[in-house]
Structure 1
Amino acid sequence: MITVIIAEDHQALIDGMKSFLKNERDIQIIGHANDGFSLIENARKLKPKVIITDIRMPKCDGILATKTIKAELPDTKIIAFSMFDHDDAISQMKEAGASGYIMKNSSLQTVLDAIRAVSQGYSYFVNEAENEYEVSKNELFFSSREKEILQLIAEGKSSQEIAEILFIEKSTVDSHRKNMSKKIKTIGKNDLTKFALERKYDYL
């Protein structure tokens, strides 16, 4: 289970993320904070696997909070959450120990991908200017569901067949395919199938 604390001074954003993430079986929101000091206190008490924190918060900003938490809880992964795509802010959060940086106008799916990525040891930094993201490690990050779908694509299954096998909607399969295509930066219609075939045995 990926335990998460969200730190944000706008309660509506916290409520929106909590509502979106509550149905994810591998993620549990165990706390939230509206300022940096409360975040540090909650992190010490609850020891989450992942923290999503705003950079600009009352009492103590996200950069100082990240430094403090990483010094005490080095295994906790921290994702910066900001309205601003400033290289200086990103570099400061990296130096403080953050594993990711996402924009407040990012999709909730991006938030979900970032949580899963950093929990597995990846870094996840969104670039608003290019509307792209960078996932850093030795290989691309795919969620467990995406790995299942990739394997079935490699076996020649259609989206409808995959949906029936996994007991999900075909539209959900199509959405996953679209997200995976973005991750591997495909161009042609059959590029994802080619990629799946090349990686057929990687996700068994």
Structure 2
Amino acid sequence: MRDGLRAVIEQEPDMEVVGEAADGREAIGQFQKLFPDVMLIDLQMPEVDGLQAITTIRSEFPDATIIVLTTFPGDARVVRAFTLGATSYLLKTARRDEIIKAIRGALAGRHTMAPEVAQEIASYTGHEALTEREIDVLRLVAKGRSNREIADALCISEDTVKARMKSIMGKLGAEDRTHAVMIAIRRGFMDSQT
């Protein structure tokens, strides 16, 4: 993917690839060293994920222009990326000319969002987001823990776990615990590695 992007970008007379990184930690270091006008970043990377890298870069360089280019359309990830300071959010399935247009737009101060991502966000408009505590419960559900084990791990009562699960399932429109985990992963509330 990086080779293809580099080739497309370098065909543009007014653009140049000044650096590349294989993981999030390296991406942060490259930004600090090179101060690029625009940075393209994935969300899922080794060492430091894209959201953590955006947070670190924007804390040191508040005006950094960062475009997320990823395979994850989940609405929670998108909102988090924009909240942390991403300028645009594209999927890796975007055509190369769309990526070039997004880079030019970002330099001009415009935000770009993949149409599929915008559609997914719109489909969840009005739905209540999961709280951090609900996500904690769901992470343990994903690991196959029982209500008792979840209660013990989070130092809460078993009744509280049941109440949180009821809330989670209502918010996600889930049929059961497994379905709730699958929806939460798809929407980006938690990673599949959780």
TM-score normalised to structure 1 length: 0.56
Deviation by residue 1:3-59 (Cα, 9 ceiling, x = unmatched): xxxxxxxxxx00000111112111110000010000000000000110000001000
Q: Note the 1:28-177 alignment, pairs <5 A.
A: 28-128=16-116
Q: In the superposition, relative to structure 1, how do residues 73 and 105 fare at CA in structure 2: closer, same or farther (>3 Å)?
A: same
Aligned-partner Cα distance in 1 for 2:25–2:78 = 21
- Give the letter aligned to residue 49 of structure 1: D
Separation in structure 2 between the aligned mates of residue 110 and residue 66 of structure 1, nearest angstrom: 22
Q: Which letter maps to 1:84?
A: F
Deviations 1:56-99 (A, max 9, x none): 10000000100110111122200111112111110010111000
- Structure 2: runs of 5+ lacking an equivalent: 120-194
Q: Could you tell me how far apart the structure 2 residues matched to 1:22 and 1:80 are?
A: 19
- Report which of the two structures shows the higher radius of gyration computed on alpha carbons: 2
How far is the alpha carbon of 1:128 from its aligned partner?
1.6
State the structure with bigger RCO (CA 8 A, min sep 6), 1 or 2. Answer: 2
AA aligned to 1:20 is: V
Tell me which residue corresponds to 2:11: 23
- Aligned-pair distance for 1:130? 7.1
What is the rounded CA distance, in whole Å, between the counterparts of 2:104 and 2:64 in structure 1?
Answer: 13
The answer to which structure has the higher helix fraction is 2
Q: Percent identity?
A: 31
| Alpha-carbon shift at residue 129 of structure 1 (Å) | 6.0
- Runs of at least 4 residues off by over 4 Å: none
Equivalent residue, structure 2, for 1:153:
none
Over the residues paired in the alignment, what is the CA RMSD in angstroms? Answer: 1.6
- The aligned amino acid for 1:39 is A
**Alpha-carbon distance in structure 2 between the residues aligned to 1:34 and 1:51:** 13
Per the normalisation by structure 2, the TM-score is 0.59
- Segments of structure 1 that go 5 or more residues without pairing to the other structure are 1-12, 132-204
Higher normalized strand content (fraction of residues)? 1
